[in-house]
């Protein structure tokens, strides 16, 4: 197979070990003689995968007994709806830090009174708003911890006077999280913990049951919790791969170790962006994401964009095209992206500068 350095935003790079084990399980799942995609989800072999996956989530993120983790289909976009369905009664506030945050807000608006407490839309979401006040009468405050498209991130678990809800699609498991500070954490698996097709949610159990609306059975977190994510057929194969990804994560030191390496990778790449006369970063320095690194050609060098893209492609870099709303480049350096790939990109940027100086 061709050697590539995969920086795609999602679906994205996953640990090779997880992929290899998935291939084996497609041939023969746990010595049953049956492929993992052909076995009943009501067998003890499958239930052991569900149990293991749930335990790994709890162990890796240190999830307290007050919370439960559930898995379902639909993506983070379904999570937008579930958050509002299960938590919105009178009024909800959202931190509008990008298009995903805006889409989450739209779902809440469809169900009731919801608004943006603060927004960074004035600069194409290049920073995280600060200094705003969270009204104490909100049912919840919703944040997007990592803004995949713009490369900004909320690096710490904030104190919040009302239940805090977070879309952590693209930075879950990249750092330790104080789960006790959140009423709900959710996201699509396909950015850091698995393939597309499974969505995760960590819910504080006593925060549920406080809304008066009818919640459709399958959209009610209590259904998912009571059924141990098996109320209906779960996305079996994506969950299998997610479990293998978490096993890899644990074997490699867990979220603390990941965070250390992620910081190292981010420092290396941002360091080069700041040093290299050909490029400049697009997000506020203090809010820079350690998962999605966005950059554009430096002023006066804009005409070299296509050339650098081709130059990088030739050297095996893939998936570095920036989102159309920001332009330029975006390197997604999730947990499974090795330091050597980041180094290869940095080398490529240096070489390009030498060539064009
Ligand atoms: C990718 C992404 C989404 C959308 O996820 P889907 O699973 O495709 O619905 C939502 N929020 C964030 C932060 C994302 O990165």
Kindly report the protein residue whose alpha carbon is nearest to atom 14 of ligand 1. 169
Kindly report the protein residue whose alpha carbon is nearest to atom 2 of ligand 1. 169
**pLDDT tens, residue by residue, 129-153:** 999 999 999 999 999 999 999 999 9
Is residue 100 in contact with ligand 1, taking CB distance under 6 Å? Answer: yes
To test the pocket of ligand 1, the residue of 170, 199, 319 to mutate (highest count of ligand atoms within 8 Å of its CB) is 170
Residue 9 burial by CB count (10 A; 0-12/13-18/19+): exposed, middle or buried? buried
Distance 183 CA to ligand 1 centre (A): 19
Q: Which of 46, 57, 139, 167 is catalytic?
A: 167
Nearest-5° Cα angle at 121, 116 to 125: 110
Is residue 74 in contact with ligand 1, taking CB distance under 6 Å? Answer: no
Is residue 75 in contact with ligand 1, taking CB distance under 6 Å? Answer: yes
Residue 129 burial by CB count (10 A; 0-12/13-18/19+): exposed, middle or buried? middle
In 97-149, beta strands by DSSP E: 114-119, 140-144, 146-147
Q: Residue 162 has what DSSP assignment?
A: S
Q: Which of 346, 298, 340, 300 is nearest to 320 (CA)?
A: 346
How confident is the model at residue 357, as a pLDDT? 85
Residue 336 burial by CB count (10 A; 0-12/13-18/19+): exposed, middle or buried? buried
Structure tokens at 52: 């293991």
How confident is the model at residue 158, as a pLDDT? 97
Is residue 148 in contact with ligand 1, taking CB distance under 6 Å? Answer: yes
Q: Hey, how many other C-beta atoms are within 10 angstroms of the C-beta on 43? A: 14
> What is the DSSP annotation of 32-54?
SSS-TTTS-TTSHHHHHHHHHHH
Any bridge partners for residue 167, and if so which? 144, 186
Q: Which of 46, 139, 191, 220 is catalytic?
A: 191
pLDDT along the chain (357 residues), means of 10: 91 97 98 96 97 98 98 97 98 98 98 98 97 97 98 98 98 98 98 97 97 97 97 97 98 98 98 98 98 98 97 97 94 98 98 95
**pLDDT tens, residue by residue, 261-307:** 999 999 999 999 999 999 999 999 999 999 999 999 999 999 999 99
To test the pocket of ligand 1, the residue of 12, 73, 74, 75 to mutate (highest count of ligand atoms within 8 Å of its CB) is 75
Is beta strand 67-72 parallel, antiparallel or unpaired with respect to 5-6?
A: unpaired
Q: Which of 100, 139, 220, 287 is catalytic?
A: 100
Q: Answer yes or no: are the C-beta atoms of 129 and 120 closer than 8 Å.
A: yes
Distance 78 CA to ligand 1 centre (A): 9
To test the pocket of ligand 1, the residue of 148, 173, 184, 242 to mutate (highest count of ligand atoms within 8 Å of its CB) is 148
C-alpha to C-alpha distances, 154 to 143, 170, 223, 290, nearest whole angstrom: 9, 12, 31, 10
191 annotated active-site: yes
Distance 100 CA to ligand 1 centre (A): 7
Q: What SS3 state is found at 169?
A: coil
How confident is the model at residue 211, as a pLDDT? 97
Is residue 79 in contact with ligand 1, taking CB distance under 6 Å? Answer: no
Dist. CA 16–CA 159, nearest whole Å: 37
Dist. CA 311–CA 305, nearest whole Å: 10
**pLDDT tens, residue by residue, 63-78:** 999 999 999 999 999 9
Distance 107 CA to ligand 1 centre (A): 14
How confident is the model at residue 276, as a pLDDT? 98
Is residue 144 in contact with ligand 1, taking CB distance under 6 Å? Answer: yes
In the sheet with 199-204, reading across from the earlier edge strand, the strands are 67-72, 199-204, 184-188, 164-167, 140-144, 92-96, 114-119
Contacts of 271 (CB under 8 A, 6+ apart): none
Domains recognised in the chain with CATH numbers: 16-251 (3.40.640.10), 254-356 (3.90.1150.10)
Q: Which atom of ligand 1 is nearest to the CA of 77?
A: 9
Structure tokens at 99: 């298009």
How confident is the model at residue 1, as a pLDDT? 73
Is residue 195 in contact with ligand 1, taking CB distance under 6 Å? Answer: no
Dist. CA 241–CA 157, nearest whole Å: 28
267 annotated active-site: no
Contacts of 116 (CB under 8 A, 6+ apart): 93, 94, 95, 96, 105
C-alpha to C-alpha distances, 1 to 4, 68, 311, nearest whole angstrom: 9, 41, 20
Q: Which atom of ligand 1 is nearest to the CA of 10?
A: 1
In the chain, beta strands by DSSP E: 5-6, 67-72, 92-96, 114-119, 140-144, 146-147, 152-153, 164-167, 184-188, 199-204, 279-281, 292-297, 317-318, 329-332
Kindly report the protein residue whose alpha carbon is nearest to atom 3 of ligand 1. 76
How confident is the model at residue 2, as a pLDDT? 75
Is beta strand 164-167 parallel, antiparallel or unpaired with respect to 152-153?
A: unpaired
How confident is the model at residue 305, as a pLDDT? 97
């Amino acid at each position: 197979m061709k050697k590539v350095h995969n920086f795609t935003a999602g679906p994205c790079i996953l640990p090779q070990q997880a992929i290899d084990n998935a291939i084996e399980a497609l041939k023969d799942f746990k010595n049953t003689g049956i492929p993992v995609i052909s076995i009943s989800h009501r067998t003890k072999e499958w239930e052991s995968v569900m149990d293991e996956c749930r335990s790994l989530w709890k162990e890796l993120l240190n999830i307290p007994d007050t919370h439960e983790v559930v898995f379902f289909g639909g993506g983070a976009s379904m999570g937008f709806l579930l958050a509002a369905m299960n938590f919105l009664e009178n009024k909800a506030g959202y931190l509008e830090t990008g298009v995903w945050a805006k889409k989450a807000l739209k779902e809440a608006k469809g169900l009731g009174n919801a608004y943006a407490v603060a927004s960074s839309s004035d600069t194409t979401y290049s920073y995280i708003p600060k200094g705003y006040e969270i009204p104490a009468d909100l049912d919840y405050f919703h944040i997007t911890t990592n803004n995949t498209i713009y490369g900004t991130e909320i690096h710490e678990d904030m104190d919040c006077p009302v239940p805090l809800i977070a879309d952590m699609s693209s930075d879950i498991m990249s750092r330790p999280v104080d789960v006790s500070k959140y009423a709900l954490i959710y996201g699509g698996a396909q950015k850091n913990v698995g393939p597309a097709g499974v969505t995760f949610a960590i819910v504080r159990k006593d925060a549920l049951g406080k809304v008066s609306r009818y919640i459709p059975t399958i959209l009610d977190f209590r259904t998912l919790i009571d059924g141990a994510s098996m109320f209906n057929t779960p996305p079996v194969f994506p969950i299998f791969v997610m479990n293998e990804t978490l096993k890899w994560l644990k074997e490699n030191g867990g979220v603390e170790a990941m965070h250390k390496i992620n910081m190292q990778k981010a420092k290396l790449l941002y360091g080069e962006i700041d040093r290299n006369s050909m490029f400049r970063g697009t997000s506020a320095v203090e809010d820079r994401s350690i998962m999605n690194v966005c950059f554009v050609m430096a002023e006066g060098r804009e005409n070299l964009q296509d050339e650098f893209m081709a130059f990088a492609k030739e050297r095996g870099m893939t998936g570095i095209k920036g989102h159309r709303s920001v332009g330029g480049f975006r390197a997604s350096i999730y947990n499974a992206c090795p330091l050597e790939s980041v180094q290869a990109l940095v080398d490529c940027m240096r070489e390009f500068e030498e060539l064009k100086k």
